[in-house]
Structure 1
Amino acid sequence: MTSYLVTGVAGFIGSSLARHLLERDHTVYGLDNLETGLESNLEDLTGNSNFEFINGDLRNEDDVRGAVADARYVLHQGAVPSVPRSVEDPVLSTEANCTGTANLISAAHEADVEKIVVASSSSVYGPTEVSPKREDLPANPVSPYALTKYFTERLAVQASEFYDLDSVALRYFNVFGPHQNPEGDYAAVIPKFINLMLEGEQPVIYGDGTQSRDFTYIDNVIQANLNAIESDATGVALNAGCGDSFTINTLVDELNGILGTEIEPIYDDPRPGDVPHSKADISKARDLIDYEPAVSFREGLERTVEHFADDQTILEHADD
């Protein structure tokens, strides 16, 4: 039995990672301050005797030291997400994402953690026209969020040199799947669109819908994290995507096909800080951590739609 600290455990990716680890009988310490995470994501975790929830803040050094003390490995998902949110409140994003990561790396070094994998983002590439995105491209973060993620991954990469702490940064490409929050102004596009279209409502596309994304199902990201832990790779940043991309217009078409609907989107002005296109070159991750995405975009969409449809059915019966 191996012990892991998962930061941001009440978030979509953090709770998914914790769930996967617990299913394999690992011990999981989960840290979250519940500011952006959801307690509902913890409901099926808290009854497991191998799980310990720690209500703490990455910005608090004592909270972080206590959380990491008994962990062999760290999967760092804790952050304030969203490009628009970071534009509105760059101080919060910087404190949580940058200071929080610095605290965690320092504490992991002190606790002799074997390896840390941190969540970075494809947003660090910025609006470059080069496609697919390769890790050797110069970073060009054009939003406060992207800048914090670039700082986060550089801290992790340098940890292997300065502190002899094995580390890998994973640049996530538009992760989606069950348990992702569909509500609110900062909701990710796929769960938000699914939720609206299940209700027969029109989704809003910011821009003309030709912007494209490498949508990556959650199981692929879980695989990337665990492969990174088990590999010899250290001091590197790697893409974690699918190596393919789809436009937002195509996303709506695919969802209509799965749902059996013909809902037209509403178009609005582009949002500041959004990049036009994003597609991962995953050859380096293949070479260094044996990463190969197992779930396609279409299959991932079908699984995610099924999850949200089941949730709506449960809610409807609860109201009867």
Structure 2
Amino acid sequence: MKALVTGGAGFIGSHLVDQLVKQGVDVVVVDDLSMGNVDNIKNQDAVTIYIEDVRNEMFMQALLQKEKFDYIYFLAAVASVADSIERPSETHEINHNAVLKTLEYIRTAKLPLKQFLFTSSAAVYGNLPELPKKEDSRVSPLSPYAIDKYATERYVLAYGELYDLPTVCVRFFNVYGPGQNPSSPYSGVLSILTDCLENNKPFTLFGDGSQTRDFIYIEDVIQALWLITIKAAHHQVFNIANGRELALNDIIKTYEMVAGHELSINRTEGRLGEVKRSVADISKLVKLGYVADWSLESGLTRYWEGAEYAASRS
């Protein structure tokens, strides 16, 4: 089996690459390293890595034609809502057009494929009041990032149905775990909290902390992606989450307990376009056999222990 992981040197991508290698899959990574790092990939000797931009059509088409991948995991993206507001046109080129052009080449070149998996986001749901968020819930994307993710989902699923391609989409909720870069503008709130707790830095809290999220530990994410792969789930969207709604204030308290000391907090106004409440219905994923193994406390404990170990070796 042969797999392509775009964005494979990033946080989620590198963990997926490690899992695929463990399963005996021949893995090729394409990453421009704008937010990833090759060192995130543990088994580099077993992986072919191209430092390239997914917008490079000639490169991507030549690679697809040469390798004839069984599985394609499209994770490459501008992954920040704030960044997409600053750079909407560039975001669209990466988050939408690059995916569409890849699918179009697969279609026109009639490349054999077992699965094309596109990674979307819970951001597509926006601030609509219905909770928990189901895959068929109404959507209200509030940013260029969310708009592109939703539009691309529709294309991916339509290509699957219209041209008999084995496509599937997943909507990541709030993923955390080892390998997140707290200094990156794309970083999740838990990696920033980790950095602040570890280095006694003040944490900037946007809004009053009542905003809620559904946090999922990285190992549960990889379990879900692998399950969707082996179950050959096609022409569907899956929420990938823990299924629990937690307020940021409560998350901070839990992390303070895990770390053993309090956090210094600077409060400021909420961010433009930020979703207020978010929690997933994961029943579709559970029907495939998914079980969330990591609670927030257990995940944060592992995350904190890893951060402390890394700091002791630096």
TM-score (norm 2): 0.95
CA distance in 1, matches of 2:285, 2:7: 24
Q: Does 2:311 match 1:312?
A: yes
> Which residues of 2 match residues 42-57 of structure 1 at below 5 A?
42=41, 44-48=42-46, 51-57=47-53
Q: Deviations over 1:212-248 (max 9, x none)?
A: 1000111111112111112242111111111102111
Task: Report the 3-state secondary structure (helix = DSSP H, G, I; strand = E; otherwise coil) of the residue aligned with 2:45.
Answer: coil
Which deviates more, 298-307 or 117-126? 298-307
- What SS class does the counterpart of residue 47 from structure 1 fall into? helix
Match of 1:277 in 2: 277
Evaluate the alpha carbon distance shift between residue 128 and residue 153 of structure 1 in structure 2; reply closer, same or farther with a 3 A threshold: same
CA displacement at 1:283 relative to structure 2: 0.8
Q: What is the one-letter code of the residue matched to 1:95?
A: E
Q: 1:67 aligns with which of 58, 63, 68?
A: 63
Number of the residue aligned with 1:81: 79
CA distance in 2, matches of 1:169, 1:312: 36
Partner of 1:318: none
Paired residues for 1:133-212 under 5 Å: 133-212=133-212
User: Would you say the 8 A contact 1:205–1:248 is kept in 2?
Assistant: no
Could you report, residue by residue, the CA deviation over 1:150-175 in whole angstroms, capped at 9, with x for unpaired residues? Answer: 02211211121122111110010011
Secondary structure of the corresponding residue to residue 102 of structure 1: helix
Number of matched pairs: 310
* 2:53 partner amino acid: D
Aligned to 1:183, what secondary structure does the other structure show? coil
Distance 2:291 2:221 in 1: 10
How far residue 122 of structure 1 moved from its aligned partner, in angstroms, is: 0.3
Q: Deviations over 1:122-151 (max 9, x none)?
A: 000000111110111121100111011102
SS at match of 1:238: strand
Q: CA deviation at 1:24?
A: 2.4
Give the root-mean-square deviation of aligned CA atoms: 1.4
Change (3 A) 1:294 1:104: farther
Superposed CA deviations along residues 248-283 of structure 1, whole A, max 9, x for unmatched, are: 111211111111002242211111111001100011
Match of 1:230 in 2: 230
Correspondence 1:93 to 2:107: no
Residue 40 of structure 1 aligns with which residue? 39
Contact 2:128 2:138 (C-alpha < 8 Å) held by counterparts: no
2:105 and 2:289 map into 1 onto residues whose CA distance is: 29
Give unmatched runs, 5+ long, in structure 1.
316-320
Identify the residue that residue 122 of structure 1 maps to in structure 2.
Answer: 122
Which residue is equivalent to 1:5?
A: 4
What per-residue deviation string (whole Å, max 9, x for no partner) do you get for residues 296-315 of structure 1?
22211111111211121111
Structure 2 unpaired stretches of 5+: none
CA distance in 1, matches of 2:121, 2:59: 25
